[in-house]
Structures are given as structure tokens and as C-alpha cells.
Chains A and B, each alone.
Chain A
């Protein structure tokens, strides 16, 4: 091939190369945008994505979503925000550990009580554990289906709907499979706060890092009455995951009034 012909071909090809490059960049850009949009849509359809449960402020009745890891405190940047004179800006750190529960670590010798006992180091909270941070009582509520130690009564009962569905658990589900409920108890009704407390105070526990597990009754009657007097929460206070086919379309704005996260956030600012 002659040098001159090659030169011409190569000079023509540089435009082709730029064109192909631009195609790649354009398609990547478009895909990045699409992916971001799809992810946002998915997150709206799955309000519980990335969460392990919620934290109920027993003094106000307010429930805040509980991510896998985060900080509790009074600062605006905290994942779980509490307002009170005794609450530090960053009060405690929490982290969900598979198979162990919610690890709570008080920061800078902050005042944290677990089921009434002062905490000096990390401790694992389970479903129903009552924390007290700077004088504010909190209840930890964890989703069913999480891998947390037995017994975790609430979680077990909440697992019921799975069976109602098609009688089979999905393979990924790694909850307390050993605990098939023997009694034909009805699914735990989560329609309002007043129903959050069962007839019999449930077992509840937390355990210390050295594996020592302590059990005690979670509720006192005083707790119950105080909580009920102070506020009767609205019906949709509990975040329930709606089946996906009930999630309104993007156009109808799932961001609207129905979405519990959004509502809470707006209320806070109001």
C-alpha cells in the first residue's frame, strides 16, 4: 500500500474515530442518566430499600426509618434525629450486623441506656429493645426476614404473610427458619400504634459483646400508658411496604402525600 494512499485513509479515519468515540460517550451519558432515573424510581417503589426497621420515639410516638448503619443525635445530619436537652449532636452510632442484631455504640461517653441499663460499650439490640438516649426513650423495631438471633418474637410473627402468599419462602430469605410458629396466631396487625403492644409483654433482650444474653420484659404498664396518652399516632404511622402493584406511577407522584418518608420529612420542617 502506497504511503500516500495510507496517509489519506488514516486522515479520513481520524474523523471516524472521533465519531465512534462520541457515540460511546453519548451512549454512556444517556445510560448514566437512565440508570439514575431507574434507580430513583426503584427506590420510590421500594420505600424500605436499604432499611432494617425503624426507631420509635416513645415520648412523641414518631417513628424514623432505620438504615443499616448510621448515627443517632440532634444534628441535622444524623440518620435518626432526636431533639432533647440531653441529646448530643452525635450521640450514638448503630450498625446492623447480620446474625447478631443492631449494634449500638455510644459516642464520646454519651448517656445511653439499653432496657434500663447504662451502656459502657457496644451492645446488640434486637427487635423490641428499648433504648434511652439522653433521656429520650426509643424502641427498636426490626423488619421480619432479617437474620437475627432467636428468639425474636416480633420478627417471627411478622413472617406470617410470606406463608400466606404461596406457602413457600424465597430462597434468599435467611430469617429464623427453624422457628415455625406452632400456634395459629393471626398475623400481627400493624395498623396503629395502640396495637403495637401485644397482650402479653413479649420477650425482649439485648446481649453484650462477650455473648452474655440478658432477658427481661420490655414494657412496663407505665410505659404503655404514657405512650398512649401522649399521642395516638395516625393510621399510617407504621411504615408498611405496600405490594408493588399498589405503588402509584411516577407521573402520579409517589412523592406525594402518601409516602410516609416524605410526610415525616415535611412535618419536621413545618
Chain B
């Protein structure tokens, strides 16, 4: 960051670079490895590898449009829709799509930050809203990047927020008019029962948010590519998306067989990180973990395992789909026929899991300091997780004869989950609050990206995704709970 600030110094036309910008340097895959050298990756981030594409062949990609689509393109439904259709068709042709398909279920958008530089895109969708356009169904949106009530309720944070997210109100208003009016439903885990955006297997959608795409494709059996901010809403307004990549049978085939052979329950975040780093954006077929999903079912009580592993594959790589033998819909239907001929194999045993964890650097400026805050819930916690961690934490405190945790705990979840906890487990909720648990509906990664965060906070988490994008250190649940009780990281952890 010092270098980036230095670039601004003394140059006409620029003010000092605000510090909250620093973490935009490290988002998603940055194309350089841990050694700082280019990785030479060829990921399209769509979920469809095009590493072998050739110009001569690719240039011929032209989708066939239906009469209805052609009419929209010709302006029969207004100039705004015509332009949106033109963008979608060009985008589809670029990726070799066969045709457009009608979308079902409901959209999910990751357009959630109202920063100045997003102004042009926000204005585009504002013009759509003004023209009376709407998404094909009420939709869900990622959590807002701040919470002025439970986390950022201090003048320093508020100054940064009001300065950094000047267009947040405009963006919220765009979403309200296009079909996402309820801020209580803002969550990256849109598929939770409390949010309710979990379409049936096989449904075509055009979701954005890497963890939601990853879970939706894999655990729900949806068919969506990884969409960047903007293409999600554009597709939602048209109710159509170009058919390619992870939306096709061919694109859902696995190029990797991943065998999990750990002697105990795997560290889901570590395993996910290892897989993402290895396969980048190819599809892995994972074996050895079906025993953690009783009867081969993904339920409200075990989905957090896939959420933790999958989001890590999407953050450390660009995995948009994985199959779990005997568990996920595609794997149940087709089994190992999903593996392509000549697939590669990656084994994660105890030694490999340990190796992966050892690659996680300690990025705290004061490396031997004690932790000052705990972050749980990236992607957003499910109801099961809030209850699980609530009990783990309060029982550990009871055992230690304490009522309050040594350091604050931030638990991230959608408001609807928080409300359910209060309604159904009121006593536990009260105890958690007294212990120092702050329940918030904001995005954990956004908080970790605020100005001076790493100097102010020595965070610890059990989320491999949060770890990937921030200076927050990763530990398994038992270490996390010990640190919560004592304020210290146990020796040797």
C-alpha cells in the first residue's frame, strides 16, 4: 500500500489515495503466485475453460436467435431492452454460446458496493429501472458492505463509509425498483431456507457471487456460469442467458478426480483451498466425503460443510462447480461417468491437508500479537451454524467461569436467520449477546477491506474465504473457541 500511495504523491489531478482502497489490490485471483511471479493462468472466470481456443474457430461463433429474441434486439420492446439484448448476444458469441436459454427460479446479484467507480454501471441499470424494466422474478442480492448499527457504529468507520460508498443509496434504489426490495434478505448465502432462493435442480439461472454460484451449481444442481457484476442483472432483466460452459452437459464434466483421504473429518476450508489452487477453474469430482452427508442428502444441518469447502475453491481458484460422489445432484445421477477421459487425480490426505494449511501466511503486522477479534460467517452463517457456534462459545465460557469472551466475536448472517435465532433460541441469543457476540448482516470481506483494518485488528476466522482476501488468520473451530475464551492463540496452533 505504501507504494500505491507513493504513486499518488505529487501528481497533479489527484488527491491522496484513501486507505480503504488498499485491499482492491487483492481480490479474487490476481494472476501472481505466492512468489510474486505471474502464474500464467488462462482462466476466463466464467467457469468455462477456453485455454485451447483458437481465433480462427472462435470468430465464427454466432448464436441463433429466436424470433422473440430478434424482435427484442430490433427494439420492439424498447431501446433499453434492445441494447441489453445486444450486449448479451455479443457476450454469448464471445464465449461460444449455442443459443440463449430462458432463465427460471430467481436471480442472485453480487452488485453490492456503491463506490464512485461503479457509477457508470449503476447509471445503466437506473436507466433500465426508469424505463420500467424489472427482473424476471424477485431476486436476492449480496449483503451490503457495511453495518452502521452493529459493527461500524463509530465515527472513524462512518467517515470512511460515507466517503467510500457514496453511491450505495443509488445502488440500493436500483435494486428495489428492479425487484429486490427487502434489505432483510441481503445475503451471499441466498440458498438458505430463511432467504429462499434455491431453485430446483436443472434450472438455468445467471447468478453472480462466486460462493453462491459454486453452491448453486454443485449442491442444488443449478445451471449457471460465473457471472461478473452487471451480467447478472442484465440477464435477470432479459430473463435469458447465453448457453455455454457450466450450463451445458459437456461443461459440467470433471477434469479432476479429487480423493479426500484424511483420517478424521477434513478441514473443509483447507481442502477447498487446496482444490481451488490445483484445478483453478476446472470441475473436480470429489470422493471420500459422502459419509458426512447422511443418506447422501444435503440438509440445513450439513450444508455448511459444502459452503465452507466450495467457497474456498471459488476464492483460491475460480471453481464454479464441483461434484461430490453420492451427494450432489449431478453425481447422484451420473456418477463417475462425469469424469472426462484422461482426467487427472489429486489426493488430499493428512499430509497434504497439513501442507495446504502451512501455505497460509501470517499477515498480521505484529505477527506474535494476540488476536483482537473473531470473524465467523463467510459465506453468511446458516441457522445451524449460529446455534452451533453460539453453544460452543457460551459452553466454553461457562466452563471457564466467564460470562464474556476475551475478544469481540462478529457473526455474519442474513437478518432472517438472526430473527429465527431470537425467536427459537431466545435464551441462547441473550447469552451470546452478553458474551460479546455481534450479529451482523454485512459482508465480512468488505469489513476486512476497510482502511487501516490490518493495523487496527488482528483478526482470526474459520473461513478460508475470508482468509484468502484479507489479513485475518485461519484456525479450526477448537482453536477459535480457545482464543475466544482466553484472548490468546494456543501455543503450537
Report if A and B associate in a common complex. Answer: no
Interface set of A (CB-CB < 8 Å, partner B): none
